[in-house]
Amino acid sequence: MSSTVTPVTKEGPVTKDGPRRNGSGTGVRAGRPHTAWILPGVLFFAFFAVVPMVLAFCLSFTQWNGLGDPVPVGLANWRKLIDDPRLTQSLTVTVLLTVVSWAFQTVVSLLLGVWAAGRQRNRAILSAIFFVPFLLSSTAIALLFYALLDPNFGLIQGDTLGTTSGAFLAIVFVGGWQFIPFHTLLYQGGARQIPDVLYQAAAIDGAGRYRQFFSITLPQLRNTATMSSVLMIVGSLTYFETVLILTQGGPGTDTAILPYLMYEAGFRSYDFGYASAVATFLVVAATALSLLLVRLTGFGAMRSTREGM
């Protein structure tokens, strides 16, 4: 499809875009495919991700049990959502889970990643072992800990998942156990790209190991940390299966994170209108959060960490 479109309208964007291009200092136009090449990808993504988001917004003003047609009910679902004590609780536990997981995973994977970036043989072997949990799917890992934490059988005595703090910490731990290997790898890759001259210069200035870590390694890992944090924060929403398998949102509704609340409302209570309101809320929260991150860190501009070198 793309190849048939290209030659026809080739002139359009070239002339339209010419001045800006020159302004940015690159006067060359070699190998510039027509914008229409993005259409298949954009349409596909729009159909399966953007349209459903808009639909969720519309459905949030209706009542619908999955059969027949949705009935408009105005703001009823939103009113119910605001008055729902479960929402406050769910929001609190979602934010808490995200923040605690982010802190836990970032600290461990940053340290492990920088450590693993060294090329010593023992580090290479241990890194290979550290990676193993990532080979299991999240479902498999949730099942593994479901079995290991089973009070009648497990590794740990007592009913860990029966207490609020136990269930919460179990979810944080299981999420970390799965994703730390991946983020360690990101930090390892990032740390290996830090030019050695920086460390040599610091050593000449008499900076010790810890000073070097805080003054060189950490600032140089800025872009890695942003990418890793965005993935962690969005990823903490995928603890859905961990929650579903490990705690079913329990004890009570103490670990019912927003996605779980939505799942229960939609696919257990068949209240799709209300579920859509929760879903819309989730999108807004996630987008705001990642916009904030992108803004704060300048990720959109893809700034280089090599500036001034």
Partner 1 sequence: MSHATSHATRPHRPAPAPTKPPRAAAPVHRRRRTERPNLLAGLGSAIWLAVVIIPVYAMITTSLAHQDEALGHNALKPPSHPTLENYRTVLNSGFGHFLANTAIVAAAVVAIVLVLCVPLAYVAVRSRTFWSNTAFRMFLLGVAIPAQAVVVPLYLMIAKLNLYDSLLAIILPTAAFAMPVSVLVLTGTLRDISEELYEAMALDGASPTRMLFQLVIPLAKGGISTVVIYSALQAWNGFLFPLIFTQSDGPRVLTLGLFNYVSQFGVNIPALLASVVLSGVPIFVVYLLARRALVDGLMGVGGK
Interface with partner 1 in residues 246-285 (CB under 8 A): 258-259, 262-263, 266-267, 272, 275-276, 279-280, 282-283
Tokens of residue 79, six digits = 């009113």
Site string for partner 1, 218-247 (x = CB under 8 A): -----xx--xx-xx--x--xx-xx---x--
CB of 104 to partner 1, least distance (A): 12
- Give 291's Cβ-side CA count (13 Å radius): 6
130 touches partner 1 (CB under 8 A):
yes
CB of 259 to partner 1, least distance (A): 4
Beta carbon nearer to partner 1, 29 or 79: 29
Site string for partner 1, 27-56 (x = CB under 8 A): -x-xxxxxx-xx-xxx-xx-xxxxxxx-xx
Give strand pairing partners of 62.
72
Beta carbon nearer to partner 1, 64 or 168: 64
Beta carbon nearer to partner 1, 153 or 308: 153
Burial (Cβ within 10 Å: 0-12, 13-18, ≥19) of residue 213? middle
Interface with partner 1 in residues 142-171 (CB under 8 A): 143-148, 150, 152-155
Tokens of residue 258, six digits = 């927003």
Extended beta strands in the chain, E state: 62-63, 71-72
Residue showing tokens 């004890």: 251
CB of 205 to partner 1, least distance (A): 12
Assess contact for 215 and 202: CB atoms under 8 A.
Answer: yes
CA separation, residue 148 to residues 160, 164, 172, 208, 231 (Å): 10, 18, 16, 43, 28
Binding test (CB under 8 A) with partner 1, winner from 188, 217, 229, 247: 188
Residue 4 CA to chain centroid, in angstroms? 37
CB of 75 to partner 1, least distance (A): 18
CB of 249 to partner 1, least distance (A): 14
CB of 31 to partner 1, least distance (A): 4
3-class DSSP assignment, residue 70 = coil
140 touches partner 1 (CB under 8 A):
yes
CB of 193 to partner 1, least distance (A): 6
Interface with partner 1 in residues 66-125 (CB under 8 A): 66, 108, 111-112, 115, 118-120, 123
* Pairing assessment for the beta strands 71-72 and 62-63 based on DSSP bridges: antiparallel
What do you get for the CA distance between the two ends of the chain, in Å? 44
CA separation, residue 238 to residues 67, 257, 298 (Å): 28, 10, 26
Interface with partner 1 in residues 189-208 (CB under 8 A): 189-190, 192-193, 195-196, 199-200, 203, 208
